[in-house]
Amino acid sequence: MRVILVAAVVLATLGAGAVYLAWRFVDFGPEASGFDRGAVTFEVTNGCGVPRIARAVADELSHRGFGVYEVGNDSAWEHTAVIDLRDPEGARAEAVAAELSVARRFWFLRLRERLSPEWLVGLDSSRHVDLRLVVGSDYRRFFPDVVALR
């Protein structure tokens, strides 16, 4: 009887620990954000050197509901970044970076910790768009299904 009681306590403790870890670290579904994807205008620039990748990412963003107006080239960037061209606080760039974030994975589980592009402020009043997305060498993290057609 005593062995059964100890086994039950151990199993209950292990079960509670597993439930806690799952609740704490595993992402069970997408969080709804109140961000209006069509409210900002983009230009997408290629900072990784892969031919035509900026066009492919721009098409993907358009399918997701973002307003992409220009595509171009940029100097070499290691990390994908969202640059706010209008707001000195960078609120829109931060919001878009959060929208483009992806869940980190541990085997088949999506973790709550999210990986998002860098965001920064680079005011440029001569541009007619709100944000610039620079596609860096790590673009496959954020756009895994994007393929640059040749």
Q: Which residue has the higher pLDDT, 109 or 58?
A: 58
φ, ψ for residue 106, nearest 5 deg: -125, 105
Is the pLDDT score of 57 beyond 90?
A: yes
CB of 133 closer than 8 Å to CB of 99: no
Give the model's pLDDT for residue 76.
Answer: 84
Report the run of H or E that residue 13 belongs to, with start and end: helix 2-25
Give residues with Cβ within 8 angstroms of 39, minimum separation 6: 67
Give the span between the Cα atoms of 116 and 121, in whole angstroms: 16
How far, in whole angstroms, is CA 143 from its chain's centroid?
Answer: 9
Is the pLDDT score of 108 beyond 70?
A: no
pLDDT band at 34 (very low <50, low <70, confident <90, very high): low
CB of 135 closer than 8 Å to CB of 57: yes
Is the pLDDT score of 98 beyond 70?
A: yes
For residue 133, which of 46, 59, 51 has the smallest C-alpha distance? 46
Give the model's pLDDT for residue 148.
Answer: 77
Is the pLDDT score of 105 beyond 70?
A: no
pLDDT band at 81 (very low <50, low <70, confident <90, very high): very high
For residue 62, which of 44, 79, 84 has the smallest C-alpha distance? 44
Give the span between the Cα atoms of 20 and 26, in whole angstroms: 10
Q: Whole-number mean pLDDT of the chain?
A: 82
pLDDT band at 33 (very low <50, low <70, confident <90, very high): low
Give the model's pLDDT for residue 31.
Answer: 54
Tokens representing residue 85 in the block: 């061209």
Give the model's pLDDT for residue 112.
Answer: 61
Give the span between the Cα atoms of 54 and 2, in whole angstroms: 67
Q: Which residue has the higher pLDDT, 32 or 110?
A: 110
